[in-house]
């Protein structure tokens, strides 16, 4: 019976191999900031591999949160969609469902993300451009018209105004006789990563954190199938972070939300099972897989050992994955199909519960139907043709994967220690620490591209050959005009005094720190108050926010 090679034998192999054979120039390594060794062996594994890795569905969940993983159920195929008016996006939702998508994921336009109504002067030229415009509960009703909300899981990517959009969604469903307890899905709500990376906010940090905790508390008691927050590393990575930074800042954000909820008086097991995560699937294949494994292990350990969670569901770090938008190129865009397939496979081998695959033309514009279909088919091919779902965690025990998992975990804890020294994540964000770390990483990456040290096919290498123009989706400017008229009509037709009373009640509740604002937001939604009106009502109490430069 063959024995496993000792570390000394690996070192002997390296000396003999590279002493007589010239080693080719390896591609630039992004693996946790360290050079990739030419070979990994038993000496790179954890001291106690069985304890560190475990079994799928068992603590520390390195190999997956469920015992059967994809042999029991495939991940949810949830393509991100939204453009123009609610009616237009509803048609795209139906198209995706007809072609085999199993969950909906809603992209909102920039005014909606920033808390502006479509007829606000700051919204001019942006309405419906990067997502769907939603100003009132009427728009939310139109967005999901004809879609069985009690049977389809819905995700909404919005953060600062997330409590408002959740209120619109709950009221839209209740008007169809569907109570909040029957609604399944996720709303992003992760405001810390907005200050860190995406830069879409409505309020200062502290009242914004209050709103997040209000949502967690309200959903814990009334929406057992709903995830009130999706703690997001995706946008941290899109802003230029490394994998280690994405892992560390995302998990520290999540642990901070747990601390806030506990300070509110909630029991950890009453809300932790409904917390979810959202990670990037970048192009460095093995590093991404290791990142997900490390994330599960850290979350399970911290929830059990630091916060005393006893319900095993509280320990399960369930996450959605989206392939890396920042890896897509406008040059030779068909290459993006390959990039997306590789990134999606990393998400699957890393054990994701839900997956969005980017469309090849997204570096140019919103995706066309053809590009969306190819993106969805990419997931279906992985699921049905490749065989990677036949066994659970097929890369578990790999010398390289386990070494990377350990290294990323260690780097995450190094960042945790630095953040704790600054007084925790909220204080670190106020001081601009994670913002500076990400800016530095993004600058280094760009330098590597421009120097040619890092290769990007079709951009700084293999650029020869003519390219055919790629058809793109163009948003009809009439959508903006239609939406502006729609929001103005909604104001004109509503019961004006009732709307004013609901907004006044919301502002009064905001002045009471112990008051949960979700019931008052629901009242405002029922009275047809607009998103912008609700935001301005809260800003009258909370104020607004201006970021200090982090460069």
User: In the sheet that 229-232 helps form, which strands lie side by side, from edge to edge?
Assistant: 226-227, 185-187, 154-157, 103-107, 76-81, 354-356, 319-323, 275-281, 229-232
Instruction: With beta carbons less than 8 A apart as the criterion, state whether 323 and 343 touch.
Output: yes
Asked if 386 and 348 count as a contact pair (C-beta separation under 8 A), the reply is: no
Calpha distance 182→174 (Å, rounded) = 10
Encoded tokens for 96: 């995706």
Percent of all residues in the chain with a pLDDT value above 90, rounded to a whole number: 79
Residue 95 has, within 13 A of its CA and on its CB side, a CA count of 17
Cα separations in angstroms, 263 against 7, 217, 226, 266, 269: 48, 11, 22, 7, 14
pLDDT value at 236 more than 90: yes
DSSP state of 457: B
Q: Is the pLDDT of residue 466 over 70?
A: no
Over 60: is that where the pLDDT of 65 sits?
yes
Q: What is the mean pLDDT of residues 413-438?
A: 97
**Phi then psi dihedrals of residue 45, to 5 deg:** -80, 160
Task: Give the pLDDT of residue 425.
Answer: 98
What DSSP string runs through 136-154?
SHHHHHHHTTTS-TTTS-E
In angstroms, the CA 550 to CA 263 distance is 30
Whether residue 421 is predicted with pLDDT greater than 70 in this model: the reply is yes
Beta strands in 242-317 (DSSP E): 275-281
pLDDT digits (tens, 9 = 90+) for 494-546: 999 999 999 999 999 999 999 999 999 999 999 999 999 999 999 999 999 98
**DSSP class of 326:** G
Q: Where are the alpha helices (DSSP H) in 36-145?
A: 49-53, 86-98, 110-114, 137-143
Q: Predicted confidence band at 551 (pLDDT cuts at 50, 70, 90)?
A: low
The pLDDT tens digits of the residues spanning 75-94 come to 988 877 788 889 989 998 88
Q: Is a pLDDT exceeding 60 seen at residue 24?
A: no
SS3 of residue 397 by DSSP: coil
Q: Are 376 and 101 in contact (CB under 8 A)?
A: yes
Between helix 399-421 and helix 285-301 the angle, nearest 10°, is 60
Q: What is the largest CA-CA distance in the chain?
A: 85
32: pLDDT strictly greater than 70: no
In this structure, are strands 275-281 and 319-323 parallel, antiparallel, or unpaired? parallel
d(CA 85, CA 142): 9
pLDDT at 52: 86
The whole-model pTM stands at 0.92
Parallel, antiparallel, or unpaired for β 154-157 and 103-107?
A: parallel
Domains and CATH numbers, the chain: 56-451 (3.20.20.240)
Does residue 490 surpass a pLDDT of 70?
A: yes
Q: Is the pLDDT of residue 102 over 80?
A: no
pLDDT digits (tens, 9 = 90+) for 266-307: 999 999 999 999 999 999 999 999 999 999 999 999 999 999
pLDDT at 1: 46
């Amino acid at each position: 019976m063959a024995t496993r090679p000792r570390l000394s034998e690996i070192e002997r192999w390296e000396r003999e191999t590279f002493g007589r054979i010239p080693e080719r120039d390896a591609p630039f390594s992004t693996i946790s900031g360290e050079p990739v060794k030419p070979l990994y062996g038993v000496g790179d594994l954890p001291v106690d591999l069985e304890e560190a890795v475990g079994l799928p569905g068992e603590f520390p969940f390195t190999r997956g949160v469920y015992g059967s993983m994809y042999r029991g159920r495939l991940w949810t195929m949830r393509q991100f969609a939204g453009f123009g008016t609610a009616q237009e996006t509803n048609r795209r939702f139906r198209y995706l469902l007809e072609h085999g998508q199993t969950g909906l994921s809603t992209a909102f336009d920039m005014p909606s993300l920033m808390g502006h109504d479509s007829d606000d002067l700051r919204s001019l030229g942006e309405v419906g451009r990067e997502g769907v415009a939603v100003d009132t509960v009427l728009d939310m009703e139109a967005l999901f018209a004809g879609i069985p909300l009690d049977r389809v899981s819905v995700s909404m990517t919005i953060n600062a105004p997330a409590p408002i959009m959740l209120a619109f969604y709950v009221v839209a469903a209740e008007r169809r006789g569907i109570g909040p307890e029957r609604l399944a899905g996720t709303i992003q709500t992760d405001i810390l990563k907005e200050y860190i990376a995406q830069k879409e906010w409505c309020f200062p940090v502290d009242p914004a954190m209050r709103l997040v905790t209000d949502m967690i508390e309200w959903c814990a008691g009334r929406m057992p199938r709903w995830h009130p927050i999706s703690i997001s590393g995706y946008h941290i990575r899109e802003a230029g972070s490394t994998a280690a930074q994405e892992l560390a800042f995302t998990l520290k954000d999540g642990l901070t939300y747990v601390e806030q909820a506990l300070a509110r008086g909630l029991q950890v097991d009453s809300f932790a099972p409904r917390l979810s995560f959202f990670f990037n699937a970048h192009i460095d294949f093995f590093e991404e897989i290791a990142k997900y494994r490390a994330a599960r292990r850290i979350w399970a350990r911290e929830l059990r050992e630091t916060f005393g969670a006893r319900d095993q569901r509280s320990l399960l770090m369930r996450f959605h994955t989206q392939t890396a938008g920042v890896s897509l190129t406008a040059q030779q865009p068909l290459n993006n199909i390959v990039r997306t397939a590789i990134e999606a496979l990393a998400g699957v081998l890393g054990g994701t519960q839900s997956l969005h695959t980017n469309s090849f033309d997204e570096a140019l514009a919103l995706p066309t139907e053809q590009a969306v279909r190819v993106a969805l088919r990419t997931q279906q091919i992985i699921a049905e043709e490749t065989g990677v779902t036949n066994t659970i965690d097929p890369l578990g025990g790999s010398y390289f994967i386990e070494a990377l998992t350990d290294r990323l975990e260690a780097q995450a804890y190094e960042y945790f220690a630095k953040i704790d020294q600054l007084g925790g994540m909220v204080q670190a964000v106020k001081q601009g620490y994670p913002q500076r770390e990400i800016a530095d990483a993004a600058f280094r990456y760009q330098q590597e591209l421009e120097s040619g040290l890092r290769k990007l096919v079709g951009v700084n290498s293999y650029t020869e050959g003519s390219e055919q123009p790629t058809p793109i989706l163009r948003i009809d400017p009439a959508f903006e005009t239609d939406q502006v008229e729609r929001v103005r009509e909604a104001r004109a037709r509503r019961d004006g005094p009732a709307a004013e009373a609901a907004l006044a009640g919301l502002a009064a509740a905001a002045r009471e720190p112990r008051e949960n604002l979700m019931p008052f937001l629901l009242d405002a939604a029922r009275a047809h108050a607009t998103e912008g009106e609700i935001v301005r009502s809260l800003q009258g109490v909370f104020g607004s926010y201006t970021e200090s430069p982090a460069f």
